[in-house]
Amino acid sequence: MKRWIAVAALLALATIGGLAYVHHQRQAEAEKQSTLYGNVDIREVALAFRVPGRLAAVRADEGDSVQPGQILAQLDVEPLRNSLNAALASEAALAARNALMHKGSRQEDIAQAKSRLEVAEAAAKQAESEYRRQRELAPAGGSSQQQLEAARSQRDQSIGQRDAAVQQLRALRAGFRPEEIAESDAQLKQARASVAAARLALKDASLQSPSAGIILTRAVETGSLVQAGTPAFTLSLRQPTWVRAYVDETQLGRFTTGTEVSIASDSHPEKSYRGVVGFVSPTAEFTPKSVETANLRTALVYRIRVVVGDADGGLSQGMPVTVRLAK
């Protein structure tokens, strides 16, 4: 009897142990399905001047924390100011010319043209009268052929001057042609664009931080000549901070867009950060070698991006982290 009791007890213990093992395995599998491994991804920006020039001052160094709009470096602005003044002078001249074209001729100019026409008409009448007189005297020998030709030439010149005066008066009364006014408008618009470009170039002489961050590298020194587009600083942005992780197909349903997760690093496992899955890649890819996963190194996975909501200085670029579903 005692033997059967002992056997039954052993069977009960084995059953309980088996159930505990199965429960433990299920918990381990559930934990595995709700855990990902990834790396911190902090954006970096290469900052450069949009205009060339000589560097007059450098106001930031490696490791400095900077704020949005803070001036990091300054170019010598004297050449840029000269260019702006030249553009302003050209704009003023073209604006005056354009205003004259739109207003048309002054009454004083029209009056002078009218007076010149009257003088030309009087001269033409006199020349015509002299030519007729010489032509009438020529048959009787009262005028030589040379005098007749001179009178004819004077008449023709007077008529030409009169016609020119007529055309000039008509042009002044009609004003400038529409094509000339359109050309002047375009030239003035171009001059204003040149002024705007010169102002922008003067503003771009100050290299400003686009957002809050930390200066990682500095590649310029005071007095050096820099070209447009040459990187002067590398800025590590404070926001946004992301975690790049990879999930296999069996876990896709758990880590959908908008899913809340917790993030912990190996250096501070006791500290947990809050995050939200902001992006799930629609295409599969092979797991990168840099991703720390327990298995399936060559399996197809999907890249996800987790936006960290309360990131601080404890998360650094490339740091390996563990991502778990929020409880």
Q: How far apart are CA 326 and CA 104, in angstroms?
A: 77
Per-residue model confidence (pLDDT) at position 22: 40
Per-residue model confidence (pLDDT) at position 297: 47
Supply the Cα-derived Rg of the chain in whole angstroms.
45
Q: How far apart are CA 133 and CA 127, in angstroms?
A: 10
Per-residue model confidence (pLDDT) at position 48: 96
Q: How far apart are CA 186 and CA 86, in angstroms?
A: 19
CB count within 10 Å of CB 257 equals 11
pTM of the model: 0.60
Residue-level pLDDT, tens digit, the chain, 327 residues: 556 665 555 555 555 554 444 434 444 443 445 788 888 888 889 999 999 999 999 999 998 999 999 999 999 999 999 999 999 999 999 999 888 887 766 666 767 877 787 788 788 888 888 777 777 776 666 667 777 778 788 888 888 888 887 777 677 666 667 788 889 999 999 999 999 999 999 999 999 999 988 899 999 999 999 999 999 999 988 778 888 888 887 788 888 888 888 888 877 777 888 888 888 888 777 666 555 455 554 567 888 888 888 877 778 778 888 888 877
DSSP 3-state helix, strand, coil percentages of the chain (rounded to 5)? 45, 30, 25
Domain boundaries, the chain: 35-44+238-325, 46-76+204-235, 85-199
Same fold, 35-44+238-325 and 46-76+204-235: no
Per-residue model confidence (pLDDT) at position 2: 56
Q: 35-44+238-325 — its CATH code?
A: 2.40.30.170
* Amino acid, res. 135: R
Q: What would be the CATH architecture of the domain defined by 46-76+204-235? A: Beta Barrel (2.40)
Q: How far apart are CA 300 and CA 304, in angstroms?
A: 13
Distances 140 to 129, 137, 145, 148, 284 between C-alpha atoms, Å: 18, 6, 12, 13, 116
